[in-house]
A and B are shown apart, each in its own frame.
Chain A
Amino acid sequence: MRAPSRPKVEYRSAQREGPPVRSIRSGVSRYTLGLPLLLFAVLALAAPNFLAPQNLANISGQITALLIVTLGQLVVALVGGIDLSVGSVVSLASCLVATQSDPLWGITLALALGLVVGLVNGAGVTLAGIHPLIMTLATMTFLQGFAFLVLPIPGGQIAPELRQLVNGTLWAVPQPIWWCAVLALLVGVLLHRTRLGLHIFAVGANAHSAQLNGVRSVRVVMAAYVTCSLLAVVAGIYLASRVASGDPTMGASFSLESVTAVALGGVQLTGGVGSVLGVITGALSLGLINNGINLFGVSPFLRGAITGALLLAAVCVQRRRMVGL
């Protein structure tokens, strides 16, 4: 007697009230949009040197890495997964780039690593059916060890060409903003203008229905994890070039921070709901909070507490139908 497979629980009532479908799928609400605007307004009014060009350039430099990682986390969250290994991937990519003498070879190596990590995570989650938290926790631990092996202590060399790519300005716009814009545009196009993007939303909303409609969900989920790891590699290369060295613990905080930013941006971790715009507001909010803490001279140690409180407030106003994860 084979036990009948358990039907998936869905909390969708037949008659839906509330905002139209389009804004439901993006997850963007007045709270997600309002938070960064509110923070910006408060900082601009209360902190005199907030609007100084130097400070604005600083903020964009600090937010860029987080935003790139968060874009990857968004793609994985859309298929209903989560990737805790992004932090270790960022660290490892920075170590690889810093230890290779030829920058092109270093970048190739790092991107190949991202591809492999994404494939392993995706295969573990879809083919083997391991819970994404456990699968990516395992790769996170493994890769952290690998990063220590490649570069035990912070150091190494970054090629000057790479450093130019992140520090200067292009057409009077700071380079980090170009990185953000290009990558956000790429992910936006991937999600909204390609077949894969449509399939990602379909699998995240209801994997079973998507499968019945001919979507090859295994490939879609694999592609989502690969995209996420590759973006984490890009963030690692960016960060290493920015500080001009590699560091085996550089990205450790990104794993949880990217989940925080994703949640602040209205993305639902159960899948199918989220948008690039939301993720940008989420990463921007986190960055502005950090900047504000610096400018106001608040103890930087309270940063975690303030971010946590904000996160609680953000998830409480986004009431879901489901209870639990």
Chain B
Amino acid sequence: MTTISEPLAPSAHAPVPARWRRAARFVLSLPPAYVGTALLLLLAALLRPQLLSLFLLPLIARQAAPLGLAVIGQSLVMRGRSIDLSSGGVIVAVSYILTSGYFPVSDAGAMGLCLALGITVGVINGALIVKARASSMIVTLAMAMILLGIVIALSQFRAPGDAPEFLRELARFRVLGIPLPVLVWLAVLAPVALLLRTTVYGRYLDAVGANPRAAALSGIPYLRVIFVGHVASALISVLCGFILVGFVGKGSVTLGQDLALNSLAAAILGGVNFGSGKGGMLGPAVAAFMLTFLFNFLTSLGLGEPGRLMLQGAIIAAAALVYSLNKK
């Protein structure tokens, strides 16, 4: 929203120069993730400088990679006025396929199976949302429940075991000091950001988000745009699953369960909202880093579980509050 039209106060008796006020207004109009990250880094520099060391920062970035990937998928569907809460279910299913040994295939075969699962889930989600016009929140939530339920029931017969060796290696591997998961994150982020800016699909997505009715009337295949978003989001969840399984080294039925809601928070803090992609793809990425850094920072302060959760909730609310009040 432009706020330029507001009359500037006469500078005669204004001690604060207009330049400063314009700067403040610019900072406030940014997605809350940027200011939040800056504030957090500043606070950390004062209170816990060791968090900013060259040893720990890449580790935190590595930890942020799954959330960073998940938020890419979440932003894609949110810009089309939809939502995807199924990532937790997909991740648990991926971890089970990779680690249980239920499927007598090689590691590469198992990863292929995971991708096939991702496509299936994405297609089912998309089809139900677009064809049956079901609420995307309910559909993806139900999908997560189904996948999680099946995995938990199956793990009674065969508990999840160790992760494939090369995934664990990949999670530890570094290129020029940068952990590989971070590179994977960037390798997905950069093309998606570029494609959204330059391709017809990106324009369609903006049009659908701005006004689905108008987009449909102007002949934009808007159902297909939403459908493709959901398939992409499910595939990205599979990728998150690979990375998380590599981190943990073991299969687990609690892996990535907070990712669906955290990615929603990160998308909003990054300036993406239902139907608008103002924060682009960079905003959500910064927000993913911010949230992960925040969790680490709060842990390093020695706050127990109660204090950590309370501060986390308060900060998400505060950031969302500043952003929406400013947008009004």
Contact = CB atoms under 8 A, between A and B. Distances in A.
Interface stretch (B95-103, B134-142, B170-178, B179-187): B134-142
A134 B265 contact: yes
Interface string A85-106: 0000000000000000000000
B212 A323 contact: yes
A18 to B, nearest CB: 14
Interface string B284-328: 000000000000000000001111111111101100110011011
A208 to B, nearest CB: 15
Interface string B116-150: 00000000000011101111111101111111111
Contact of A134 (B82, B156, B309, B320): B320
B80 A6 contact: no
B1 interface: yes
A138 B317 contact: yes
Given A312-B128, A324-B212, A263 B138 contact: yes
Contacts, number: 193
Size range of the interface on B? 35 or more
B81 A324 contact: yes
A201 to B, nearest CB: 19
Contact of A269 (B137, B314, B327): B137
Interface residues of A, number: 58
A139 B312 CA distance: 10
Query: For chain B, what secondary structure do more than half of its interface residues adopt (helix, strand, loop), or is it mixed?
Result: helix
A306 interface: yes
Given A138-B320, A305-B145, A308-B145, A324 B129 contact: yes
Interface string A1-39: 111001101010000000000000000000000000000
Interface in A132-147: 133-135, 137-146
Interface string B84-115: 00000000000000000000000000000000
Contacts of B145: 304-305, 307-308, 311
Binding site of A, secondary structure by majority: helix, strand, loop or mixed?
helix
A134 B316 contact: yes
B2 interface: yes
B8 to A, nearest CB: 15
A303 interface: yes
B223 interface: yes
A196 to B, nearest CB: 26
Contact of B142 (A133, A142, A301, A312): A312
A325 B152 contact: no
A302 B149 contact: yes
B65 interface: no
B259 interface: no
Interface in A118-165: 124, 128-131, 133-135, 137-146, 148-149, 152
22 contacts: A2-B1, A124-B317, A131-B273, A134-B264, A134-B316, A135-B317, A141-B309, A146-B306, A149-B306, A301-B149, A301-B153, A303-B149, A305-B146, A307-B149, A308-B145, A308-B146, A309-B146, A312-B128, A315-B138, A323-B222, A324-B82, A324-B129
Interface of B: 1-2, 4-5, 80-83, 128-130, 132-139, 141-150, 152-153, 156, 210-213, 222-223, 226, 261, 264-265, 268, 273-274, 304-314, 316-317, 320-321, 324-325, 327-328
